[in-house]
Structure 1
Amino acid sequence: MAPLLFTTTKIKRRISLLLSPENQEKLNQLRKIFHFNPTCELAIANGSAHYQAPAILREFEEELAPILSLFASDNDHVLKEKPLPDQFIAQMAELGLSSAAYLSKAQSQELVKTEPVCLQPWGWSPAELNFLAGYHELPEVQAQHRRIAHSDLFQRKHAVQFNNEFLDENPQSFFPRKEERPQLLRSLEAVEHYLLKHPKIVLKSPLSSSGRGLQVIRKRNLNDSNKRWIKTTLDQQGYLVAEPLFNKQADLSFQFELLPEREVVFLGVSFFQTNKNGQYLGHHINPTSELVYRYFKQDELNTIADGLTKQLKKSCFHQLYQGFLGIDALIYEAEEQIKIQPCLEINPRFNMGVLSQAIERKIHAESSGVFQTYYHPKTSYLDFAEEQTKSNPPVTTDERLRKGFVSLTAPGKSSRFGAYILLF
């Protein structure tokens, strides 16, 4: 049976249970244990403490586990069940990207024993609580993690409410009109009615990430495959989020960190790439001002960020959660005007945007390029990485990576997944 969720009405009675500044300071001094589990939303949707993602997604998590080392210090552990080659570990250290220890969970727990640690999964879920149960946390921290894992905070309905409240309080001509805002739909008939108003739409399941759990509908009539997906999602999760398919110009995200005493720190804007169906491809690293300010001036982006910061301070997210949070946005063209949808999704967890910012802190300040993930069902990532390394060998300046190709994961002969930096 799925655990009882803490809804936003219940969250309001738990504000005092967030970490105090004193305990946050204690937490910052502890050894950190990083675990890459981007299937956390799927685990929440399942609800079981014993949930296991499909095999191919578990393979993805294992292969990309090293990317969290970009957040780690020397004393920290990055969990990875299969050992990494010494050559990969040495290169990460030589390039100044990471000197963390890569350990299996059993090895890590044997080393820390009863030492209190700071657990840093990609995101929390009942299954992640169970997976990390062998570690010791400060009691107040453990209680907070349990509340997050058993809440409905990851559901898209909260992003829809946040977006509507933000747009109501911050009217701008370059924001979507009311009829362009996302809506919650609870039946197949409601989807069909929505299609009458918008010829092309995007449907999103309540719990999913990285562009998965999406259906892009480009025709007025739903086909059998569309109907099956809609009915299955409604039966399992109760509703869908619907929005028009915009004429996209750019993807971006506003990055924040939520701290004790309702403090919200704006970390900056990151620009990323998706395919035509909205699935994540990669991030721009140190993008040029031409890219960043092509559509909106710096003061306009700062005004949006200020408004989002104020909205976060009074939202359900800050009533329960502390840590990194990304708000995905979309720049699009409509009626011969460039507009921005300021809140498509809210991710109260680690995300690729804050990861790209971690990369930017590690490389040469004058470098620019891309961070990208790799997947090909038939072509090994090893072959791709070897070819790229020959064509674009890494070059350092002032002991920092300046240009070239660097794999952030250790490709094996059978690796289908990978992640890398390519700097120009």
Structure 2
Amino acid sequence: MTKKALYLFNPEHDLALASGETNYMAPASARRMASELALLPMWYAEEGSAVLAPSAYNLDYVKKIQELLGLSVDLITEPELAIEQDLDIRPWGWDVALRKRLSVLGVDEVLLPSMGQLNDLREYSHRSKAVALLPELQLNEYFCGESYYLKTPEEWKRFVEGRKECLLKAPLSGSGKGLNWCKGIFTSFISGWCTRVAASQGGVIAEPIYNKVEDFAMEFYSDGAGELTFVGYSLFHTGKSGMYEGNCLLSNEAIRKKLAQYIPSEALMDLENCLKYRLSALVGTVYKGYLGVDMMICRFPENEKPVFRIHPCVEINLRMNMGVIARFLHDRYVRPGSTGRFVIDYHPSEGEALQEHERMSATYPLEIREGRVYAGYLPLVPVHRRSCYRAWVLVAPDNI
């Protein structure tokens, strides 16, 4: 008998991984996000599986979505975890803090990864792995990208002072977090930051700044036995500081076509094949689940040819990610040929999220035909008066 898949959304995973502590306590904002967006996995969960979420205000929403779109996903609450003994647990990402949390809730040890496996996963999530992979992905003149793993104060100072601007990153950190934008001066603040990061994570990642025109990713699935499958493309937006803002809901073909305005399609296909091979060798037996490789299209001066090039490995995310959700949302629930947006947003004032939810519901009425969204606004989690976080899709009518 196959185990029941149980999905859970732990967006604090990157922060927990960076801390490495079994007793790690996420900031209140991350805990709130985990609670308010707990149902997000139902959109990528397999048929007949369950999602870990409080039932109080989620149950009505789940029933409504089951009727609208035919999803067959159940809810499991934390107290029920100790009773359900045959689960295949699939979190957003595995870390030692989550293992401890589930163990305390009564989940049988045999259903959890070992500490050794989790230590390996943390090691392979370290950005130094992406730094090492990057040179192997410079397949021809349509590729670019430099990244360095620097361990000493002399190296940090030389790198920062050697260019007008650059970016320093903590080797383990959440999306848009742990970044330091430098302007050619190695200040005491930057020096202190580097020292603290290196003390806990071994060093600092240093990169030049690129003239970015598109953010995109290639998404894969690793079966844990060395086999990697290409899942598709993700085209996304980030804010000025690098924080994730949302995904375009487009077919793989449409994303390829958009990227082919800059780069020959063959270069993308070559990269896809090369990554499948390289990642299989790197993490194929260490990690089971979805993973994404963030990339960008960069613009170079007109006198340098080619003007547009791919940075093929900005980072590797050994966890579920928003790009995979966007892929599932488009391919499962959006009318073929339609386009849309998938957004996670934050509203700090009480009542603001609900107000915006009601405004969008009225402005963009939801139209569903044959189990697919044809047009309109669809909230992906319930929104109530006290909500701060929303997850939603907006599908354009008639392919506008």
TM value normalised by structure 2: 0.89
Partner residue in 1 for 2:208: 244
Partner SS for 1:65? coil
Mapped contact 2:170–2:197 kept (Cα < 8 A): yes
Mapped contact 1:330–1:344 kept (Cα < 8 A): yes
Report deviation, 1:85: 4.4
Partner SS for 1:294? coil
Give, as a single letter, the amino acid of the residue that structure 2 aligns with 1:264: L
State yes or no: 1:305 paired with 2:272.
yes
Identity %: 27
Partner residue in 2 for 1:408: 380
Cα distance in 2 for partners of 1:223, 1:389 equals 49
State yes or no: 1:93 paired with 2:66.
yes
Report deviation, 1:213: 1.4
Q: Residue 421 and residue 49 in structure 1: after superposition, are their counterparts in 2 closer, same or farther (change >3 A)?
A: same
Cα distance in 2 for partners of 1:39, 1:85 equals 21
Partner residue in 2 for 1:267: 231
Partner SS for 1:319? coil
267-276 or 88-97: bigger deviation: 88-97
State yes or no: 1:192 paired with 2:164.
no
Cα distance in 2 for partners of 1:97, 1:384 equals 26
Mapped contact 2:224–2:287 kept (Cα < 8 A): no
Cα distance in 1 for partners of 2:71, 2:181 equals 39
Partner residue in 2 for 1:175: 143
Mapped contact 2:177–2:243 kept (Cα < 8 A): yes
379-388 or 277-286: bigger deviation: 379-388
Give, as a single letter, the amino acid of the residue that structure 2 aligns with 1:125: D
Partner residue in 1 for 2:358: 386
Give, as a single letter, the amino acid of the residue that structure 2 aligns with 1:335: P
Cα distance in 1 for partners of 2:346, 2:336 equals 29
Structure 2 runs not aligned, ≥5 long: none
Equivalent residue in structure 2 for 1:213, among 178, 186, 196: 178
Partner SS for 1:312? helix
Give, as a single letter, the amino acid of the residue that structure 2 aligns with 1:198: R
Mapped contact 2:294–2:312 kept (Cα < 8 A): yes
Q: Residue 382 and residue 229 in structure 1: after superposition, are their counterparts in 2 closer, same or farther (change >3 A)?
A: farther
Report deviation, 1:261: 4.2
Equivalent residue in structure 1 for 2:291, among 316, 325, 330: 325
Give, as a single letter, the amino acid of the residue that structure 1 aligns with 2:385: K
Partner SS for 2:171? coil
Give, as a single letter, the amino acid of the residue that structure 1 aligns with 2:119: H
Mapped contact 1:326–1:346 kept (Cα < 8 A): yes
Q: Residue 121 and residue 86 in structure 1: after superposition, are their counterparts in 2 closer, same or farther (change >3 A)?
A: closer
Give, as a single letter, the amino acid of the residue that structure 2 aligns with 1:367: S
The number of aligned residues is: 383
Give, as a single letter, the amino acid of the residue that structure 2 aligns with 1:319: T
Q: Which string of whole-angstrom CA distances, capped at 9 and with x for unpartnered residues, describes residues 2-38 of structure 1?
A: xxxxxxxxxxxxxxxxxxxxxxxx7xx3211111112
Partner residue in 2 for 1:371: 342
Partner residue in 1 for 2:167: 202
Cα distance in 1 for partners of 2:112, 2:53 equals 23
Q: Which string of whole-angstrom CA distances, capped at 9 and with x for unpartnered residues, describes residues 351-393 of structure 1?
A: 1111111112222212211111101323632121111111111
Q: Residue 393 and residue 132 in structure 1: after superposition, are their counterparts in 2 closer, same or farther (change >3 A)?
A: same
Give, as a single letter, the amino acid of the residue that structure 2 aligns with 1:192: K
Partner SS for 1:72? coil
Give, as a single letter, the amino acid of the residue that structure 2 aligns with 1:263: E
Q: Residue 117 and residue 248 in structure 1: after superposition, are their counterparts in 2 closer, same or farther (change >3 A)?
A: same
Q: Which string of whole-angstrom CA distances, capped at 9 and with x for unpartnered residues, describes residues 71-112 of structure 1?
A: 2245322112362245422332233273322332113433x2
Report deviation, 1:142: 4.2
Cα distance in 2 for partners of 1:225, 1:260 equals 41
Report deviation, 1:223: 4.4
Q: Which string of whole-angstrom CA distances, capped at 9 and with x for unpartnered residues, describes residues 135-180 of structure 1?
A: 347x5x745x54431221211111111222333xx3x11212xxx5
Mapped contact 1:63–1:417 kept (Cα < 8 A): yes
Give, as a single letter, the amino acid of the residue that structure 2 aligns with 1:72: A
Mapped contact 2:6–2:87 kept (Cα < 8 A): yes
Report deviation, 1:418: 1.5
Q: CA RMSD in A?
A: 2.1
Partner residue in 1 for 2:54: 81
Q: Which string of whole-angstrom CA distances, capped at 9 and with x for unpartnered residues, describes residues 263-282 of structure 1?
A: 21111111111011211111
Mapped contact 1:72–1:98 kept (Cα < 8 A): no
Cα distance in 2 for partners of 1:101, 1:68 equals 11
State yes or no: 1:125 paired with 2:95.
yes
Q: Which string of whole-angstrom CA distances, capped at 9 and with x for unpartnered residues, describes residues 383-413 of structure 1?
A: 2111111111111122311111111121221
Mapped contact 2:142–2:263 kept (Cα < 8 A): no
Partner SS for 2:285? helix
Equivalent residue in structure 1 for 2:23, among 50, 55, 59: 50
